[in-house]
Amino acid sequence: MSITPLYSTTATATGGRSGRVSSADGIIDLVLAMPKELGGPGNAANPETFFASGYSACFQGALGLVARNQKVTLPEGNTVTVTIGIGKDETSFGLNARISVKLPGMDKAAAEALVAAAHQVCPYSKATRGNIDVALETVV
């Protein structure tokens, strides 16, 4: 699939998981640390932190787009929480994701349909489809 970017951003890492990452625009400039569970100090952000943050924001944007297109009003207090896991696979390490969407007070079937539709249009979901295990959870 080919796209013509409407927006691009650039970030540079030095020192890998125990280094630093910064964006070209200067908005991000953070120290990185290996999580305790992987043998590090766990006292700073790591790549999985960024992935979970980006995925959750992107998915919530996709949820809003789907809701607007379907003329559905999302309930107040709706949230999207993404948990990214890292662990050993057959060759090295791999990722998985769990997306938990809270749509308080919505009908369960309608909420699940919105979440499924958002999963089809979210760019992060498209990028991960078929590459990592992604579990969806809808909470009403």
Domains of the chain (ranges; CATH) run: 1-45 (2.20.25.10), 47-139 (3.30.300.20)
Banded model confidence at residue 29, pLDDT cuts 50, 70, 90: very high
Cα(13)–Cα(32) distance, integer angstroms: 9
Asked if 45 and 110 count as a contact pair (C-beta separation under 8 A), the reply is no
The pair of structure tokens assigned to 84 is 């990214």
Q: What tens digit of pLDDT does each residue of 39-86 get?
A: 999 999 999 999 999 999 999 999 999 999 999 999 999 999 999 999
User: What is this structure's pTM?
Assistant: 0.95
> Residue for token digits 């499924």?
116
The alpha carbon of 11 is separated from its chain's Cα centroid by a whole number of angstroms, namely 17
At 85 the pLDDT is 98
pLDDT in tens, 96-139: 999 999 999 999 999 999 999 999 999 999 999 999 999 999 99
Interhelix angle 108-121/47-69, rounded to 10 degrees, is: 120
**Helices within the chain (DSSP H only):** 47-69, 108-121, 123-128
- Token pair for 6: 């409407």
pLDDT number for residue 45: 96
Which pLDDT belongs to residue 40? 96
The C-alpha atoms of residue 67 and residue 8 are separated, in whole angstroms, by 26
How many Cα neighbours within 13 Å face the side chain of 57?
6
In 10 A of CB 111, how many CB atoms? Answer: 22
**pLDDT of 1 higher than 90:** no
